[in-house]
């Protein structure tokens, strides 16, 4: 058991709730943060670090990819990171394509472009 009571036995449902509220208060989490929100956060953060869906399934011990997908989310910040990464890739491809065209151009054409 990951969480046990003071006597080393599993929490009862009512005890767990009380202990969760205390722990949440100690670390400064808002009152509306539920215990299962930690699972959602964990899944989302691991995928942001590059973990695959299979990595997250194994990490949290879920039995199916579908179960793991329920807990994964994408926020605005991540979408900006993805868009920026795509932009970087596209800019690099454009530079490669432009360099290839320049290599095929005649000396006169290159001089006109500069």
Residues 65, 44: Cα–Cα separation, whole Å: 14
Residues 42, 86: Cα–Cα separation, whole Å: 25
List Cβ neighbours of 42 (8 Å cut-off, separation of 6 or more).
59, 60, 71
Classify 76 as helix, strand or coil: helix
93 and 82 within one domain: yes
pLDDT band at 25 (very low <50, low <70, confident <90, very high): very high
pLDDT band at 114 (very low <50, low <70, confident <90, very high): low
86 and 65 within one domain: no
- The mean pLDDT value of the chain amounts to 83
Identify the pLDDT of residue 29: 92
pLDDT surpasses 80 at 43: yes
Classify 25 as helix, strand or coil: helix
Number of domains in the chain: 3
22 and 45 within one domain: no
User: Which structural domain, as residue segments, surrounds residue 84?
Assistant: 76-114
Q: Rounded mean pLDDT of 82-94?
A: 89
Q: Rounded mean pLDDT of 12-34?
A: 89
43 and 27 within one domain: no
Identify the pLDDT of residue 112: 67
42 and 12 within one domain: no
Q: Rounded mean pLDDT of 2-15?
A: 77
**pTM to 2 decimals?**
0.55
């Amino acid at each position: 058991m990951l969480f046990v009571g003071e006597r080393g036995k599993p929490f009862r449902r009512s005890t767990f709730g009380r202990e969760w509220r205390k722990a949440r208060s100690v670390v400064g989490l808002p009152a509306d943060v539920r215990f299962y929100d930690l699972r959602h956060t964990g899944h989302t953060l691991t995928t942001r670090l590059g973990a695959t869906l299979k990595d997250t399934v194994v990490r949290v011990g879920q039995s199916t990819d579908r179960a793991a997908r329920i807990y994964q989310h994408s926020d605005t910040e991540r979408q900006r990171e993805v868009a920026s990464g795509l932009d970087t890739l596209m800019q690099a491809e454009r530079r490669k394509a432009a360099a290839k065209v320049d290599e095929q151009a005649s000396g006169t054409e290159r001089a006109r472009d500069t």
